[in-house]
Amino acid sequence: MSFYTLFVTSLCTLVLPLLLIAAAVKLWEMYVISGCDPTCRGALPPGTMGLPLLGETLQMVLQRRKFLRIKRQKYGYIYKTHLFGCPTVRIMGSENVKQILLSEHKLVAAQWPASVRIILGSHTLSNAHGAHHKSKKRAILKAFSREALEQYIPVIQEEVRGTVDGWLESDTCVLVYPEMKRLMFRIAMRILLGFEPDQTKADERELVQAFEEMTKNLFSLPIDVPFSGLYRGLRARDIIHSKIEQNIKKKLLKTCENNNYKDALQLLIENGEKNDERLSMQEIKESATELLFGGHETTASTATSMVMFLGLHAHVVRKVRQELQEKYVMGSQGEDKPLDMERLEQLKYTSCVIKETLRINPPVPGGFRVALKTFELNGYQIPQGWNVIYSICDTHDVLEALPNKGDFQPERFLDNKSPEDSARFGYIPFGGGARICVGKEFAKVLLKVFVVELVSRCDWRLLNGPPTMKTGPTVYPTDNLPTKFTCWPEP
């Protein structure tokens, strides 16, 4: 074979396919951005759109924080990409986030990726808009009033104490993250859905596994074919709906025998009847699934992060114990005192521990919106119909005038100028605006009770040291945080 023939063959075999791929990618980018408004003065944000159809979804799902860090370093606080089947602008920074969160129903509207909407369903609070969203939100907020939270404390304390007892009795290490998911799931089942302990325990293992599978596949390409992420997420969702429906039917038969408080699901059902909008079983199942997801996945993530941070900072544990003794929440020998809202509200330093955990490891990395019309943000054009993701974790990372951002320092929230005050939308672990997390006060009480029970009764050691953290979709340790717990004070 002559050199010329070899050269042409190599050209056709190697170079030509590469050129075709490059041309396809370029044509794809031109097609995606063809919807921009030529009358808008702002240029599109910098960034890349990735592969045809797939966009950059696979890189984001596989790399998560690494992907986001590289993008931020390369393109700054606003950049374009293509995720979950849609052209997307990702933003961060308090001023940019502020404009998005305060423009609900004017410039943007809440819209999660298609896969999330399909799996969770159309009847959830996250997918509701306008008057329907306000009505649902009001009903759920009643379940998180101060009076309601007071009623929940004994249930939370009972469940946390039982779990901590199990950790102390274990001869082997405890995998904290899966344990935490089971604990927070039981609490959410009892408090948010009003199920009895025996109902919760009977279905706990299967439901937790199904939730794990559903959660893992929430953010996936919206392609429902066998073995795809969406397919697996829907199959897991069906298992959850089946189990929940059995319990809901029992619950509806026992409505008049309910506890001395009304759970969030009961309030939603009553709100629908009051407004002549009786909820169907499908609507109840979807609402229950959303409440369970929001009520246990995020708190399990944050509680696990707290075990990690406190395990790495013994001086912080000592300060928490000192506060518990000073506020008479814990006796000098570790004996417990009754907890109530008034006592919990006195624990200022303990609150700072929770806030600092949420600053460094916010459980939810961001929120999703869709542009209702083309508008400008910081000089860039955001085209109508594009998705807008505001990043919570990146916004915390780039918060200005915050020394030693990477260090775990709860004391920073005791200062006159804490991260909460330095920028209204610079510290947003619960989101903000009209869509701020409805369960944030419930989460704070739950996490505070957990810290009190843990610190007043346990010492612990992280067997693998500081873990690698991943996001999928909430933050979690890749090694599940193996930990050895011992009694404190020693018998």
Are the C-beta atoms of 67 and 60 separated by less than 8 Å? yes
Domains of the chain (ranges plus CATH)? 37-487 (1.10.630.10)
Reported as half-sphere exposure (CB side, CA atoms, 13 A), residue 271 has a value of 22
What element of type H or E holds 391?
strand 387-391
**What residues are paired with 80 via a beta bridge?**
47, 89
Residue 280 has pLDDT above 60, yes or no: yes
Residue 258 in tokens: 């309910």
Residue 29 has pLDDT above 60, yes or no: no
Model pLDDT for residues 95-126, shown as the tens digit of each residue: 999 999 999 889 999 988 899 999 999 888 88
List of long-range contacts for 318-321, beta carbons under 8 Å, 24+ apart: 319/349, 319/410, 320/349, 320/350, 320/353, 320/451, 320/455, 321/455, 321/456
Q: Residue for token digits 């082997």?
A: 172
CB atoms within 10 A of CB 64: 18
Residue 68 in tokens: 């986001």
User: Coil, strand or helix: which one is 415?
Assistant: coil
15 pLDDT tier (thresholds 50, 70, 90): low
- From the centroid of its chain, how far is CA 428? 12
Model pLDDT for residues 234-262, shown as the tens digit of each residue: 999 999 999 888 878 877 776 555 556 67
Residue 344 in tokens: 């919990």
Nearest CA to 267 out of 184, 187, 185, 194 is that of 194
Can you tell me the mean pLDDT for 52-79? Answer: 88
What percentage of the chain has pLDDT greater than the value 90?
Answer: 53
- As a whole number of angstroms, the distance between CA 218 and CA 212 comes to 10
Residue 452 in tokens: 């009190």
**What DSSP state is assigned to residue 46?**
S
Name, in order, each residue with C-beta under 8 angstroms of 1's C-beta and a sequence gap of 6 or more.
Answer: 9
Model pLDDT for residues 412-462, shown as the tens digit of each residue: 998 766 676 656 789 999 999 889 999 999 999 999 999 999 999 999 999
**pLDDT at residue number 6:** 63
- As a whole number of angstroms, the distance between CA 17 and CA 81 comes to 24
**pLDDT at residue number 14:** 64
289-303, 395-409, 441-455 — which is least confidently predicted? 395-409
**pLDDT at residue number 131:** 85
- Measuring CA to CA, how many Å separate 398 from each of 69, 201, 359? 11, 43, 11
Give the CA dihedral 380, 383, 384, 386, nearest 10 degrees.
Answer: -100
Q: End-to-end CA distance of the chain: give it in Å, rounded.
A: 86
- Strand 78-83's sheet: what is its strand order? 78-83, 86-91, 387-391, 366-371, 108-110
- The amino acid that residue 224 corresponds to is D
Q: E-assigned strands of 133-253? A: 174-175
